Amino acid sequence: MSEEDGPSKRKIAFITFCTIFLVGCVIGIAFSVNVETESSDNAGQQKDRVISSVKAVKILCKPTTYQKECENSLMKDARNITDSRELIKLAFSVAMKKIDKELQKIDNMRKNESDPRAKMALATCKQLLGLSTGEFQRSIEKMGKFDLDNLNNILTSLKVWLSGAITYQETCLDGFKNTTTHARIKMRNLLTTSMHLSSNALAIISTLASAVELVGGRNLAEGGEHVFGHAEVIPSWVVDDDIGGGVRRLLHQRSYRLKANAIVAKDGSEKFKSIGEALKKVPKKNKKPFVIYIREGVYREYVEVAKTMTRVVFVGDGANRTRITGKRNFVDGMITYRTASVAIHGDYFVALNIGFENSAGPQKHEAVAIRVQADRSIFYRCSIDGYEGTLHAHAMRQFYRECTVSGTVDFVFGDAVAVFQNCTFVVRKPLKNQQLIVTSQGRKEKQQPSGIVIQGSSIVAKRKSDSKAYLGRPLKNYSRTIFMNTYMEDIIKHEGYTAKQGRRGPAAMNTCFYGEYNNSGPGSNKTKRVKWRGIKKLNAESARQFTPLKFFHGDQWVRITRIPYYPDILPKR
């Protein structure tokens, strides 16, 4: 069972129907609602098709939160559409067009805005809404490839991408923190309908995915797309030694230099002196790994791996030897989203042996070292250092292995589908009267597949201190974070969790999902944890739903890299 305790009896009939509905998607036949008719003339047939279309729309919209908006938005354009796949694509298209319509109004809003921070927030909204429409566009394209052989992969990707579209819209609104005008209220009013339609699209796909699980889908370990394309183009330094029951290890060789597509050296001894220069050589929509070897040095530059830069691989000389650093921060006038020293947008990004840092310091408040919103991104043996908001795991699927993340307040935050395996979280000394909080997960919708999973890791103090840290606080109402097989020092407060002030809607402490399973150390004692409804008791069965294989709903994109990885509950040490 999932953490939501499976589908309710009320939904069983609908999910059963969805199974039939899915067959229509897969084989591309017209979905037919039982409509009795004896009419054979064109007018009669047309009338029957309209009736069938109306019924199909109502059924499609049944699982959505904003059902009436779903029906109204589809009825006009559905007309004679009864093909289930086309109806779903229409639901995506309607939401995408609504977002794009609101995006076009932002330039005028900026011209009339006096607050510099609000102006920056509006510019960021334009970028984020563009990303949101992009997720709908690729979801529409993915629906065109709907087939039984790739069913789980398609539905999982659709859920992740639609969730990302919602997250981007929500992040747009978050950017208006500490602004002095009514820009945030105007933008929220502008986005209300598009956010509802986005929520509806995700609900439709989530219900279809539940139907597949109910009737039994393909083995989740099968299928999937490769990080490095076809197996034969895996870089030569990646070797499978099958030690320890098939555990795959990345062997450290000195041949990075020979295999790289671009080499960066700060001292000018190679072709590129900056990472930004090397990134300009990445082909658009790259189909095979583009390896950038970054030699030892501190690179004081702001790096962005753009959306079109797919399958980029950063390789450094070690997390403490190759470092990328910046110092943008909230106090000096930047909104949180814009403070990142490094921003990763391109899918299938991999980083090995590199340090990412924001050196602004604790007094500058939010200052992100790296923001990641690339789907199927992987970080291995990297360090991510800062203070408040160090790692913005913003959206999409992300896997971190043997990484170190340091900070003070909400130093791992965002709404990605993120798993941290065998990582170390280092709590640094706070400012006076400042709370220490490790995670702040941002799941807004119950249907979103996102969450933070920390497995086989350690949470430790940088140095001994009287200050204690919370494991997490909910950034949004359906925040979801799980700690498994993790060692917790006595830096962790007995209460475990704290509420974020000013949460709207349902109280986040009742609707969040925080779970702990088989942890160790003095900070892992759960007897004095807060007594929220959102604090869940996990056993081996329920915890398994948050292991990488289950949580990602397929792990081929991780396994193909041969980076060390364990898909299930970790064996006892």
Phi, psi of 542 (to 5 degrees): -70, -35
Q: How many C-beta atoms surround the C-beta of residue 534 within 10 A?
A: 21
Q: Give the containing element (helix H, strand E) for 141.
A: helix 116-143
Sort strands 480-484 and 377-380 into parallel, antiparallel or unpaired. unpaired
Is 11 exposed, middle or buried (CB count within 10 Å of its CB: 0-12, 13-18, 19+)?
A: middle
Query: Which residue carries 């709370």 as its tokens?
Result: 435
Q: Compute the distance between CA of residue 151 and CA of residue 566 in angstroms, rounded to an integer.
A: 24
DSSP class of residue 231 equals: G
DSSP output for 525-557: --TTS---TTEEE--HHHHHTTSHHHHHT--HH
Question: What does the alpha-carbon distance between residue 340 and residue 372 come to, in Å, rounded to a whole number?
Answer: 10
Sign of CA dihedral 278, 280, 281, 285: positive
Compute, in degrees rounded to 10, the torsion defined by CA atoms 346, 351, 354, 357. Answer: 40
Tokens 């923001």 belong to which residue? 371
Q: How far is residue 241's CA from residue 65's CA, in Å, rounded to a whole number?
A: 49
Residue type, 93: S
Is 410 one of the catalytic residues?
yes
Q: Which residues, 6 or more positions from 456, have their beta carbon under 8 angstroms from its beta carbon? A: 421, 422, 484, 485, 486, 566, 570
Q: Which residues in 267-401 belong to E strands, given as ranges? A: 290-294, 297-299, 303-305, 312-315, 322-326, 342-344, 350-352, 355-358, 370-372, 377-380, 383-385, 391-393, 397-401
CA distance 392 to 372: 6
Q: Name residue 281's amino acid.
A: K
Output the six-digit token pair for 226.
């490769």
Residue of 410, 415, 555, 568 marked active site: 410
What angle do the packed helices 183-215 and 42-61 form, to 10 degrees?
Answer: 100
Residue appearing with tokens 């993790």: 486
Residue 55's H or E segment, with its range, is: helix 42-61
Strand partners, 418: 398, 452
Q: Are 360 and 329 in contact (CB under 8 A)?
A: yes
Catalytic positions are 410
